[in-house]
Amino acid sequence: MTRTDYHSAGHANVSNLLSYLLYKSISFRYNSQLTETKGGESSSSSSSSSSSSSSSMAYLSSSLIKPISQYSLTSNDPQFHGSLLYVTNTNTNTNTNTKPNLPFSRHGSSSFLFNEMTIFRRWRCSNQNEPIVDNNNNNNNNNNNNNNTSVTFDDVPVLSCSQAIERLRTNQQSWKGKQHYLAMYSSVFRGITTDSAAMVIPMDDHMVHRGHGVFDTAAIIHGHLYELDQHLDRILRSASMAKIAPPFDRETIRNILIKTVGASKCSNGSLRYWLSAGPGDFNLSSSGCRQSALYAIVIQDSSTFSSKGVKVITSSIPIKHPQFATVKSVNYLQNVLSKMEAEESSGCAFAAIWLDTDGFVAEGPNMNVAFVTKENELVMPQFDKILSGCTAKRVLTLADKLLEDGKLTGVTVRNVTVEEGKEASEMMLIGSGTLVRPVLQWDEQIISDGKEGPIAQTLLDLLLEDMKSGPPTVRVRVPY
């Protein structure tokens, strides 16, 4: 049936007219040529098509009082790419011959509620013939994390800026997480805010929709930023590798970060900051971005620190190519999946360890790995294929004291095999978030006697002391 035929049929009587208005009101458009298809069978004449379409619209208007459980969406073509959907009544108590399929065009991913009938629209892949929306019999199989709650038009108001900000503030206050955001700087609005509702970034920032951004973190300990300059050097190096020209010079960025922490009044927490290609458009290239952007946020975390030994597994998630692994970018999907893999494993491991393409030990999802050999040598994988950890490098420096005390026979950065790692006297994870965390088990292999080792504990003590009272090269005082 053509679009003209549809309009003619739609005005044939009041029922059809109401159906037509309903079609228009839910923002669906007809395809230029609609076919009445089900199970691979299609109408062979335009007259039968027109008749079928007319009955379809009359049926739609008369069936609005039926509950949503009687409807599902299906595809009419095994090669369907999402352009044509059917609303199909799934009530088995009704004669299916009187319930024609109702074809619609899909404009996006959403759901609409009219009286008691809900029409869902969803993206889907080709070669999928199953209903897009499960009926009530399958609702129990839905993932608990996917809330398919129907939304009425009344639930989606057009808000003013002040109304949107107020809703953001209410949403923030209703969430009782362990992290609190005390201050944020944005080069977009060129200032610092302590209102968490205003701690947002533009959707057209290429860091948001293209992952074109880098970041870093510095700990705030007793009113001092720990290793700020070391982390700042790394983010600038990452930005250069990501072809992001910072909006300010190094000293200006440094001063902004310190001032942001000062405005937060936070004496113990963390500072995370980003350099982005900036806002501008939704294209792939950043050539249309107005200017690169700097964002920084001060986080106060109420989580309790633990030095208890943990279990790790070998990750099955592919490791990043060295060109990207050595850049601290916001592209952390592989890291996230690796962490989730560990948490979902038998025994709920703390982290999953990556191996490089040559089979040597590489790193964890957000921490470095170190070992103490049976000869009391502290060894750490080389940084040429993985992220150069600031905390890991500091630990290597602090380990010199253990050399002086005779507790270690050497401190080396080299390739480490899996076999050597699993046979080590001690294994540990090192990072700005974990600090120094002993590993007691790797996969099915117990590390040594399965207890926290003395070297890991000593290195942790040295690191904590360095964070509290280290030299000015690693501690920057924050003026509050």
Q: Mind telling me the catalytic residues?
A: 328
DSSP conformational letter for 360:
B
Task: Tell me the torsion sign for CA atoms 341, 344, 347, 351.
Answer: positive
**What are φ and ψ of residue 223, in 5° steps?**
75, 15
Yes or no: say if 179 and 301 are a contact pair by the CB < 8 Å rule. yes
- Residue 419: which of 361, 332, 472 has the closest Cα? 361
What is the bridge-based pairing of β-strands 84-89 and 102-105? antiparallel
- Residue 202: which of 275, 279, 291, 272 has the closest Cα? 279
For residue 169, the surrounding DSSP H or E stretch is helix 161-174
> What size, in residues, is the chain?
480
- Residue recorded with tokens 């420096």: 397
User: Tokens for 111?
Assistant: 């759901």
The CA distance from 190 to 360, in Å, is 45
The CA distance from 429 to 65, in Å, is 60
The DSSP secondary structure of 3-45, one letter per residue, reads HHHHHHHHTSSHHHHHHHHHHHHTT----SS----BTTB---S
The CA distance from 48 to 42, in Å, is 10
User: Tokens for 41?
Assistant: 């069978």
| CB neighbour list of residue 391: distance below 8 Å, 6 or more residues apart | 227, 368, 430, 431, 432, 435, 463
- Residue recorded with tokens 């904590």: 464
Yes or no: say if 41 and 47 are a contact pair by the CB < 8 Å rule. no
- Residue 204: which of 280, 124, 105 has the closest Cα? 280
The CA distance from 319 to 259, in Å, is 37
Instruction: Specify which residues 378 forms β-bridges with.
Output: 372, 411
Yes or no: say if 88 and 100 are a contact pair by the CB < 8 Å rule. no
**Cα–Cα separations (whole angstroms), residue 328 to 31, 340, 363:** 47, 20, 13
What is the bridge-based pairing of β-strands 310-314 and 435-442? parallel
